[in-house]
Structure formats: structure tokens, C-alpha cells
Amino acid sequence: MNIQAVLDSIQDDLEAVEGVLHEEGAQSNVPILSSVGEHILAAGGKRFRPMLTLLSGRLCGTPASKRIPLAASVELIHNATLLHDDIVDEATLRRGQTAAHLLWGDNAGVLTANFHFSQAFSIILKAGGLPSLRVVNQTLNAIVEGELLQFLNVGVEEMEEAQYREIILRKTARLISTACQIGALPGENDDLVEPMAQFGLELGMAFQMADDLLDYTADESLLGKRVGADFREGKFTLPLIAALCNCKDGDRQVLLDLVHGTSEGREQSFDLAKDLIEKNDGFASTYEAARDHIERAVEVASDFPKCEERQALIGLANFVIERAH
């Protein structure tokens, strides 16, 4: 099932999620909170995480009255983390439009993110109860740990792949796993909850690896943010890590010198770094690592009950490594 077919299969649910996001998620009696929230929602996005919650919920028998607000809550949490990320990373673009903190300031960005977290918790407690809230709480702890680990590794001499994997497990994969898990939790089959969480974890690892690959290789107009941001910030992601493992001494030292140069130097040398990473199979290795996780996700999903939702989840898994943004 391709991505358009997946979207078509849950279109009514997705429209209902948008309603919850605008009516319950972004609205406040304090106008600036509503303005920043609507700015983030108006930028769109793939709504990838809500799609997973909806499909998981449908497959597991979770009623619409629960799966739709839970799906919206996952997107609110994701948007809140993006608001924080953009401030920490000093990003200028998000989803093709000016980053919110540049329009309203860092303080408004942080406080709006906190508001979205609070709104999400209220929705989760009402729709999913304490079991769902406990899962989300643990996930948010992991996200903070992942962000801090990433921050502490900026400027290190080099990063091992195991460290990188630990960061993306916490920073990205756990929330995607949670999106699947909380869709299943209020459902009719408890035996599907853990497999659904495992499916999401494998999918999440692949998703971040694909994102890190796209940060070097995507069309900027499609990506919605500046290409090469990770390299320009001196971050070690899998394309760079893999290339350093593969390349010979000459190229290896050049790459290390480039990434440890000044911010101005990294700005000027991005194209050279990209060529060296491609030459030394950094892109190919990253794609294969992402594909390995997708294959494991599909293997888990193959044990789900045969239905349209199972095919849609497998379709989403394949989309992760086929997407252009």
C-alpha cells in the first residue's frame, strides 16, 4: 500500500485529528499562545505519528472517541519538541516557514511548547487514562535524555555509532514507538500492545536515520528546512560516522578537520564534506542501516492480524526509506 492509499484509508480520522489540534491543542485565552500554536499547525507536516496512532488503534479495536484525541496528543508532543529543538539549534526554518522563535522570541517558543505538553497530557488522561500517561511520561524523560546527550556530544573528537544509536533511540524512536503503543493500549487485545511498541521502535530508528541522510541529500525546497544543518552545527550523524569508519587515512583526516573547523569553515566546506561522505559510502551505509530496521519492523507487523490496517502500517514503514523529505 503506497502513502496516498494509506492517507485515503484514514482520511476521516485525520480530519478529526486536525479538529482536535486546532480546537483543543492550540487554543488559549492568552493570544500569543494561540498565535504560536496556529503558526506551527499551519505549517502542516506529514502527521506521521498521528497516522501510526490511528492505524494502531483501528487494528487493535480502539474506538474513535479514544484513538483520535490520542493521535492529536502525539502530534502536540512532537510539535512541542520541535519548538524546543529550533531554539537550541538556532534554526531559521521549520517546515518551509520561519521558525516560531524568530517571530515571537525564545521565551514565547519555550512557553508555547510547555503549553502544548500540558494540553497533550490533559487529552491523554481523558482519552487513554493513566496507562497511556505513564507511557508518555517515560517517553518524555527519554527524549530529554536524548537531546542532552546530543548536546553534550557536539564538538567531540569523534562519535561511535553505538553512541549515535543511543541518542536517536531516545530522541526519536521512543516517541514513534509510543505513538503506536498508545493507539493499542485502550484497544481490545492486550497481546498486541508490546509488539506494536516494538514495531514503532524499529520504525523510529529507521525514520531518524533516513532524516539524517536527507539532511545531506534532500532537495531543500522539499525538505522544508536548510540542507546540511547537522554538518554545519558540527553534529555527528550516521552518514558522517559511517564514512569515517569506511574511509582511508587521507579522506578521514580531511573529514575530521572539516567537521572540527569553525562554523564559517563548515559553511564553506559542506559540498566538499558531502562529496567525501558519498565517496566513502556514508550515504549507502546509512540507507542500508535504515532498511535493516524497516525489515525488522515489517517482520513484527507480519504477525499482526491480517487487515487493511496491517498493510497500511507496512506501507508507512516502506515510505520511511522511500520519502524525499
Residue boundaries of the structural domains of the chain = 3-322
C-alpha cell read off for 44: 502542516
Q: How far is CA 166 from the centre of its chain?
A: 15
pLDDT band of residue 99 (cuts 50, 70, 90) is confident
Average pLDDT over every residue of 211-229: 85
Amino acid residing at 250: G
pLDDT of 204 > 90? The answer is: yes
Quote the percentage of the chain above a pLDDT of 90.
Answer: 74
- pLDDT digits over 24-40, tens only? 888 888 999 999 989 88
**Residue spans of alpha helices (H) in 172-228:** 174-184, 193-217, 220-223
List all residues 6 or more positions away from 110 whose beta carbon is below 8 Å from its beta carbon. Answer: 83, 84, 87
- pLDDT digits over 4-21, tens only? 888 889 999 999 999 999
Task: Give residue 154's pLDDT.
Answer: 78
Which of 18, 13, 66 lies closest to 183 in space, CA to CA?
66
Global pTM reads 0.94
Task: Give residue 27's pLDDT.
Answer: 85
Task: Give residue 222's pLDDT.
Answer: 73
pLDDT of 226 > 80? The answer is: no
pLDDT of 224 > 70? The answer is: no
Amino acid residing at 246: N
pLDDT of 150 > 90? The answer is: no
Task: Fold for 3-322, please state it.
Answer: Farnesyl Diphosphate Synthase (1.10.600)
- pLDDT digits over 240-293, tens only? 999 999 997 789 999 999 999 998 999 999 999 999 999 999 999 999 999 999
Residue 4: Cβ within 10 Å count: 9
Confirm if 271 and 227 have CB atoms less than 8 A apart: no
Average pLDDT over every residue of 215-220: 89
